[in-house]
């Protein structure tokens, strides 16, 4: 047996011991509602910016970093809107804005995830508000994962932003005095399941 043949056999045996290549698998995360909020802001009479948030946000995330794919599903209770002014919150829940009684939930579902290496950098999906669905892209401000030292579990999260025109979802009350363009800022954390 030649020296080259022996080296080939030894190399093949070592590769066999290493086993098949490790492949990343999809990992599921449940959204942590205590660390997840959807903030909004819009112009008021062309002067100041009104800001508020939605406090009741639920959902799940599936990430497959190896394949650069995944799925995000988020639901927002529209009646959980909070501007800091109770009288304004009542108006926002009404038929001119969120129509919370007729449409108690807004949804965002994304199956097109963009990765920069293993880091989630953006998502494209569909946003449903007031029963109307439109394409929406969320841009990542940052996204990272860590191990929660106390509970020994992986937590991933970040900040995302997007803009919508509320008129595209049938909310035209107060236009043009109350802005049509609404900036969304999403702070999200998910716990590995």
Q: Is residue 1 part of a domain?
A: no
Report d(CA 78, CA 55) in Å as an integer. 9
**Phi-psi region at 131: left, alpha or beta (left = phi > 0; alpha = psi -120 to 50):** left
How is 122-185 classified by DSSP, letter by letter? Answer: EEEEEEEETTEEEEEEEEEEEEEEEEETTTTEEEEEEEEEEEEEGGGGT--TTTTTB-SEEEEE
Q: Is residue 146 part of a domain?
A: yes
Q: Is residue 108 part of a domain?
A: yes
Q: Which candidate, 161, 155, 107, places its Cα nearest to that of 130? A: 107
Q: Is residue 4 part of a domain?
A: no
Total domains in the fold of the chain: 1
Q: Is residue 13 part of a domain?
A: no
pLDDT tens over the chain, length 193 residues? 544 443 333 333 333 333 343 456 899 999 999 999 999 999 888 788 999 999 999 999 998 888 888 999 999 999 999 999 999 999 999 999 999 999 999 999 999 999 887 778 899 999 999 999 999 999 998 998 889 877 789 999 999 999 999 999 999 999 999 999 999 999 999 999 9
Q: Which two tokens stand for residue 47?
A: 């002067």
Give the structural domain span for 94: 23-192
Q: Is residue 16 part of a domain?
A: no
Q: Is residue 45 part of a domain?
A: yes
| Per-residue pLDDT at 68 | 86
Q: Is residue 15 part of a domain?
A: no
Give the global pTM: 0.82
How is 55-66 classified by DSSP, letter by letter? Answer: --EEEEEEEETT
CATH of the domain at 71: 2.40.128.110
By the 10 Å C-beta count (0-12 exposed, 13-18 middle, 19+ buried), 92 is classed as: buried
Contacts of 49 (CB under 8 A, 6+ apart): 41, 42, 43
């Amino acid at each position: 047996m030649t020296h080259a043949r022996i080296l080939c056999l030894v190399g093949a045996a070592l590769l066999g011991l290493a086993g098949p290549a490790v492949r990343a698998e999809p990992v599921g995360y449940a959204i942590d509602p205590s660390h997840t909020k959807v903030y909004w802001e819009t112009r008021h009479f062309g002067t100041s910016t009104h800001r508020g948030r939605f406090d009741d946000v639920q959902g799940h995330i599936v990430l497959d970093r190896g394949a650069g794919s995944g799925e995000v599903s988020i639901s927002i209770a529209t009646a959980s809107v909070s501007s800091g002014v109770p009288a304004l919150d009542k108006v926002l829940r009404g038929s001119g804005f969120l129509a919370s009684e007729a449409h108690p939930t807004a949804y965002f579902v994304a199956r097109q995830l963009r990765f920069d290496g293993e880091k989630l950098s953006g998502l494209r999906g569909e946003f449903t508000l007031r029963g109307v669905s439109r394409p929406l892209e969320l841009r990542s401000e940052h996204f990272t994962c860590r191990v929660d030292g106390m509970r020994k579990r992986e937590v991933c999260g970040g900040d995302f932003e997007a803009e919508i025109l509320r008129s595209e979802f049938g909310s035209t009350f107060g236009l043009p005095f109350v802005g049509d363009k609404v900036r969304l800022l999403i702070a999200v954390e998910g716990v590995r399941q």
